[in-house]
Chains A and B, each alone.
Chain A
Amino acid sequence: MLQIISLLVENKPGALMRVTGVLTARGFNIESLTVAKTFDPTLSRISIVVDVESSLRSQVVKQMNKLVNVLQAVDLTDGPAVARELVLIRIRANMNSRTAILKEAEIFGARIVDSSTEGFAIEATGDPEKMNEFIDIMRSYGDIEVTRSGLVAVSLDNKKLRLSPPVVREKTEPVTT
């Protein structure tokens, strides 16, 4: 079953590798993954969609929460959350189909970001199922090229971020001869 995991991680080298390592160690296949900095440039938000047996879902999130660079990992699969995906499509369109394509794009709330005699570049966002439908329809008009962003999601729950406070080291004396 597809699981959506949202993580807040320290923006440090290797952090992404550690997170995906939890999944690859168990041989899970990642469906999509997005990473970007948050408004705090030292932190990144990662959204992962992954095919995990439902009995292992909480185990995967616990393992991620154990990682030192992960501030928080939450399972958004069942909780209240908004999930969206961005799709960019390039479509070849001859004069006959141009109006029909524009009409369809309008129905899906997509935007034309480039237009030429060859065809269009179209941008659409929505939940992944909607995007699948949109892509299917566009395919019926001819050759297309598709780039999907992967899912980004935000929880609507107010989950408190629990962070560890600094710890004071007991004074260490340098060893001397």
Chain B
Amino acid sequence: MFGYPGGVTLPFYDALYDHPIRHVLVRHEQNAAFAAQGYARSTGKVGVCCATSGPGATNLVTGLVDAMMDSIPVVALTGQVTSKLIGSDAFQEADTFGITRSCTKHNFLVKSIADLPQTIHEAFYLASSGRPGPVLVDIPKDVFQGQAHYTPVTTIHLPGYKLNTEGHTGQIRRAAQMMWEAKRPMVYAGGGIIHSGAHEELRQLVEMLDAPTVCTLMGLGALSSTHRNFISMPGMHGSFAANMGMTQADLLIALGVRFDDRVTGRLAAFAPHAKVIHVDIDPAEIGKNRAADLPIVGDAKKVLGRLNKFLEELKPAEAPKNAAARAAWWDQMRGWRDAHPLTPEFSDEEIKPQHVMMEIDRLSAGEAIVSSDVGQHQMWAAQFIRFNHPRLWLNSGGLGSMGFGLPSAVGAQFARPDKLVFAIIGDGGFQMSIPELATLANHALPVKIVVVNNGYLGMVRQWQELFYNNRLSAVQLDTFPDAEKLAGAYGFPGRTIEKPSELRSALETAVKSPGPYLLNIRVTPFENVYPMVPAGAAINEMVLRPPQPVPVGK
């Protein structure tokens, strides 16, 4: 549990004092929510955060919305003023129940200690079942102080909580048929695969169909990045091959995805030739942005497990029919991939941010946990770092919250002490997370913080350059602390580098160092993330690279 105490949670913290539940004192409640997410994202288990009433609870809000957007199982416990005072503008009172209604999958205000055990069990059940999400339990001080006999909770009855996990058998069979009938199928896999633990089933499906596969920003690692069928992430900063593939496919096999605008670009022009099979546990996602020709509501692991059986049955009769067309489709995919591969930039004089990602990738070899913040560095990390497994790539996808990367790495390192954990952060986001350096130092967590320091709010600067005539308004980060002194002040090593020749050894030193490490890497300030689909464009209308110098004509 990650939390921060206060007046009304005093009785709760008193109970924690000699209780074996491990509580980690973070340095800001927002980071308690992000750390709980890091724990949940890296394990699949429910992460717990705790805050006091009023300002404590309101500080959780960003983390809750973030968990909501990315469907992360989190239970938040908040203190509330004594029942009798609720509604009286009491000291540190906020309408937490009202404020967090839209930030959570469900929330509770506990009125009596008799309801507390049942409510807590319901909260964990709701957070972790179906489409996961954050659940908040607001507990008044008198309930915390109350005494009651504990009766174990044996059943949970939520008659209105409709779970459709199995998937419709007829639909699943039809899906298998459609998959074999397709000439240009493409698998579009997302975070839902990871949440349901369906990565093995996904691999089987992809191999059986031999279909090219894209994983969304939330789905990276659902299919190993080294798998021969893996193309890349699709969408705004996806590869040419991924986006051309989506545009030319005749069948999109959409698994645990929500057709996010960052993936689809201009919706009307998205995958114009494709029929869509859409598997999702949330019926409201189906048809929300793109109509599905074949909807299947169910848990990805269960649905894909059964789907694979049907595919296998049909294979001998169906697979040969489109074999030639499928081979041509792969030729085309390879052609696109070779024409415009995702290529990192290198320079001898300055460190390119892409170069940083390539070096981290080399050290990780697909096995490290990478917790990223939000901005250009996040996109480069997603493009160039490979993930052999799910739950290694942690990032704020839906909400895009700066300040996520470091606290999420804290949560992940607590959950997975055996793992090498990188926190890749921009110089902007890092300065939002500095308080958590104390948590790292406190627990000697060996998180390797890599600040990709371009001196700018890089992603915003990129948009100002490209779409606002390079009028760089309020994006320059003039002052950055001396990394060695800053880390030193917390008692761990830090270093700043700016030469490409230093990069490899500096990263190796950081990884070998036993505790936390802060590596501040000065990178080229004006690098842009490419390819890029401009806002409002179709995803095949990508800008592939910066404008090149053109020879002057005769």
Q: Which residues of A contact B (CB under 8 A)?
A: 9-10, 13-14, 17-18, 21, 25, 58-59, 62-63, 65-72, 162-169, 171-172, 175-177
Contact present for B160 and A71 (CB under 8 Å): yes
Contact present for A67 and B160 (CB under 8 Å): yes
Could you jot down 9 A-B contacts, CB within 8 Å? A13-B97, A14-B107, A17-B101, A18-B101, A71-B160, A167-B125, A169-B121, A169-B155, A172-B153
Convert B265-287 into 0s and 1s, putting 1 for each residue whose CB lies closer than 8 angstroms to a CB of A: 00000000000000000111001
Q: Which residues of A contact B153 (CB under 8 A)?
A: 169, 172
Contact present for B18 and A177 (CB under 8 Å): yes
A-B interface contact total, Cβ < 8 Å: 80
Any chain A CB within 8 A of the CB of B157? yes
Seed contacts A14-B109, A68-B105, A163-B160; 20 additional CB < 8 Å A-B pairs = A10-B159, A13-B109, A14-B97, A14-B101, A25-B102, A59-B284, A59-B287, A59-B288, A62-B284, A67-B106, A71-B160, A162-B162, A164-B157, A164-B160, A166-B155, A167-B125, A167-B156, A169-B156, A172-B152, A177-B18
Per the CB 8 Å criterion, the residue count for chain B at the interface is 32
Any chain A CB within 8 A of the CB of B554? no
Q: Which residues of A contact B161 (CB under 8 A)?
A: 68, 164
B343 to nearest A CB, angstroms? 40
Cα distance, A2 to B158, chains bound together (Å): 31
CB within 8 Å of A: which of B143-174? 152-163
Contact present for A176 and B20 (CB under 8 Å): yes
Q: Which residues of B contact A171 (CB under 8 A)?
A: 152, 154
B297 to nearest A CB, angstroms? 10
Contact present for B158 and A68 (CB under 8 Å): yes
Cα distance, A171 to B126, chains bound together (Å): 17
Any chain A CB within 8 A of the CB of B317? no
Q: Which residues of B contact A164 (CB under 8 A)?
A: 157-163
Q: Which residues of A contact B163 (CB under 8 A)?
A: 164
A41 to nearest B CB, angstroms? 15
Contact present for B287 and A167 (CB under 8 Å): no
Interface class of chain B by DSSP: loop
B295 to nearest A CB, angstroms? 12
If A25-B102, A168-B154 touch, whether A175 touches B19 (CB-CB below 8 Å) is yes
Q: Which residues of B contact A (CB under 8 A)?
A: 18-21, 97-98, 101-102, 105-107, 109, 121, 125-126, 152-163, 282-284, 287-288
Rank and list the top 6 A-B pairs by shortest CB-CB distance, nearest first: A62-B284, A166-B157, A163-B159, A166-B155, A71-B160, A68-B106
Q: Which residues of A contact B102 (CB under 8 A)?
A: 21, 25
Cα distance, A168 to B159, chains bound together (Å): 14
Cα distance, A177 to B473, chains bound together (Å): 56
Chain A, residue nearest B283 (CB): A62
Cα distance, A79 to B162, chains bound together (Å): 23
Q: Which residues of A contact B155 (CB under 8 A)?
A: 166-169
Cα distance, A162 to B101, chains bound together (Å): 25
Cα distance, A18 to B102, chains bound together (Å): 8
Contact present for A10 and B160 (CB under 8 Å): yes
Q: Which residues of A contact B125 (CB under 8 A)?
A: 167, 169
B430 to nearest A CB, angstroms? 33
Cα distance, A119 to B162, chains bound together (Å): 53
Q: Which residues of B contact A169 (CB under 8 A)?
A: 121, 125, 153-156
Cα distance, A67 to B160, chains bound together (Å): 7
